[in-house]
Structure 1
Amino acid sequence: MDLFRSAQAVAGSQGDGIVDWTAVAAAAKAATPSGDLDLSTEEQQGYRTDVREARDRLRSVGEVEFDLPETIEIQNRHHWIDANIATFRRVVEPLEEQSTMFPGVSRAVNTGTMAVTLGFLGRNVMGQYDPLLLADTDSHSLYFVRPNIQRVAEQLAVDYPRFRRWIAFHEVAHAAEFGAAPWLPGYLEDRMQAVVTDLTEGSLNREAYKELNTAMTAVEGYAELLMDQAFDEEYVDLRAKLDARRKGGGPFVQLMRRLLGLGMKRQQYERGAEFFEAVADARDIAAASAVWEKPENLPTDEELDSPGRWLHRVEK
């Protein structure tokens, strides 16, 4: 970790845009140890086995058909930062058209903010299913950040191969959702673009934001239900330890979680999981999977708190 070199990269930001993305990458990586990526043959095979068996179990338990993403990578933290620069850039792109009174100062502040954000996430993200929203491609990707998975397994005092398998099941569950709902990336993109575009004009598109949040609650909740049903080992201890970890951390970690909306993400997990658990209890997992048949089957914000109303509507 070289905080001085990170600060130098931010201070030297240049270009015509509101963010110097080359400086973002340099600063984020300078402030973030890359981590070890020296995998044994056995560990490489372990990742492949975990992903393949997660796919097979999720297909069977969820009664959903899907394929694994074309790109599956085991990464260090710097690899993850590089992979996500393009994603952040696509989201921020509509803001590039805005002018500022002090472009140089604004660019440095924006560049520093993005670098801190990517650095923090790069040190904490363990796995990521990336549908490449707002990209000119239909490709999807699956990433595992090996140094973070190892570190958290040690912190939680759990067996690394078992914990690695748990992360694989979680991320492949997201692949199952997007594989079962080819319309989902476009649905999310439309609402994301509407929110970002209105923000550039100084307003919030509340309807688009509400629909985006509701859809992501369904995405997170269904994945929780599916992986809990499909995971082929005891997981109660893993769930309890991960929940405790999400609530812990020092003042900086807590601040970053609030700024990045990670508390909201946890609420999406919990609210969505409660909804789909109620649906599965009333019917079965196959009934819950009906949510991905078409956009109209997504629950409304009100239905998330009344699963019976959603069931009555989609089963008509």
Structure 2
Amino acid sequence: MNFLRSVRVVADASATGTGNIDWDAVSEAARAATDPGTLDLSAAEREGYASDVRDARDRLAEVAEVSFDVPDVVEVQNRHHWIDANVRTFRRVMAPFEEHGPSVLPGVTRAVNTGTFALVLSFLGNNVLGQYDPLLLAEGDDDHGLYFVHPNIRRVADSLDVDYPRFRRWIAFHEVSHAAEFGAAPWLSTHLEKRMNRGIDALVEGDLDRDAFAELDTAMTSVEGYAELLMDRAFDEEYEDLRRKLDERRQGGGPIAKLARRALGLGLKRRQYERGARFFEYVADKRGIAAASRVWDHPENLPTDAELDAPERWIARVSP
């Protein structure tokens, strides 16, 4: 890692280029501040990742009674690889803001924004274990991606004192659960994109579309909660110790780590997991997983915000 180089790259962003964010500098600064970690995998480890994904796909399809496949792009990455992939994602999302150039102090604005995104990507790159990337707002025919950040998975398994192959397999089941959702609901990407675009367009105009963000939050709560349900029902080994230890780790850390989690909304993501999981557990216990999976038949089957806290209403409406 080279923090001095990272700071210098961000400072240089104020003097060169146009637009609100220097994305090349974001990538370079985030990488400079982040140890890439090793990708020196044995043949057994590589086969382990591949086997985990295949087994997760087969087991989840059986349990959920939905048809899907995993993305063609399945990558075991180091931290720099993950940063590069997500710079592209952030760049797509922030494009509407980029079209509105800074009105005052453009160099300062560009440097601050560049430094902020470099810090965010560096923090996440050091902590993300796996990711299903549905390529929201992407153009063209690029396939969705499934990423595993091997140095983080290995480090966290060691720090939690849990069996590394079992932990790696648990992460694979979670990420493939998201692939199952988007595979079962071809409309889901478009549904999320429309609400993202509405919310972002409003922000660009200096307004706040609360309905768009509320609908997005409700949909993402369903996405996270259903994945939790599938993972709990499909994972073929004991996992309670893994979840407990990982939750304890996420709640710990120093003040800077806690501040970063709050700033990035990671607490919100955890609440989405918990709220969505309670909804789908109730539905599955009352009607079975096949009934819970009906949420992906079409957009109208998504629970409303009120139904998330009263799943019996959703059952009466969608699966009586």
Measured after TM superposition, the shift of residue 227 of structure 1 is: 0.6
Superposition TM-score, scaled by structure 2 size: 0.98
Measured after TM superposition, the shift of residue 15 of structure 1 is: 1.2
The 8 Å contact of residues 19 and 110 in structure 1, kept in 2 or not, is answered as yes
Report the equivalent of 1:8: 8
Counterpart of 2:205 (choices 183, 188, 201) is 201
Counterpart of 2:109 (choices 100, 106, 110) is 106
* Cα distance in 1, alignment partners of residues 250 and 297 from structure 2: 32
Question: What CA deviation, in whole Å up to 9, does each residue of 1:33-75 have, x standing for no partner?
Answer: 0001001000000000000000000000111110110100000
Counterpart of 1:315 (choices 303, 307, 319) is 319
* Cα distance in 2, alignment partners of residues 146 and 2 from structure 1: 21
* Cα distance in 1, alignment partners of residues 294 and 302 from structure 2: 9
Report the equivalent of 1:274: 278
Counterpart of 2:26 (choices 24, 31, 51) is 24
* Cα distance in 1, alignment partners of residues 251 and 199 from structure 2: 29
SS of corresponding position for 2:94: helix
* Cα distance in 2, alignment partners of residues 221 and 37 from structure 1: 32
Superposition TM-score, scaled by structure 1 size: 0.99
Q: Which moved more, 1:75-84 or 1:99-108?
A: 99-108
Report the equivalent of 2:215: 211
Amino acid at match of 2:292: A
Aligned length, in residue pairs: 316
- Among all aligned residue pairs of Structure 1 and Structure 2, give the percentage whose two residues are the same amino acid: 66
Question: What CA deviation, in whole Å up to 9, does each residue of 1:185-219 have, x standing for no partner?
Answer: 00000000111111111111011100000000000
**Structure 1: stretches of 5+ with no match in the other structure:** none
* Cα distance in 2, alignment partners of residues 55 and 132 from structure 1: 20
Describe how 1:214-293 pairs up with structure 2 within 5 A.
Answer: 214-293=218-297
SS of corresponding position for 1:43: helix
Describe how 1:52-201 pairs up with structure 2 within 5 A.
Answer: 52-98=54-100, 99-138=102-141, 139-201=143-205
Root-mean-square deviation (CA, aligned residues, Å) is: 0.8
Amino acid at match of 1:64: V
Counterpart of 1:34 (choices 32, 36, 45) is 36
Moved over 3 A (4+): none
Measured after TM superposition, the shift of residue 137 of structure 1 is: 3.2
The 8 Å contact of residues 191 and 211 in structure 1, kept in 2 or not, is answered as yes
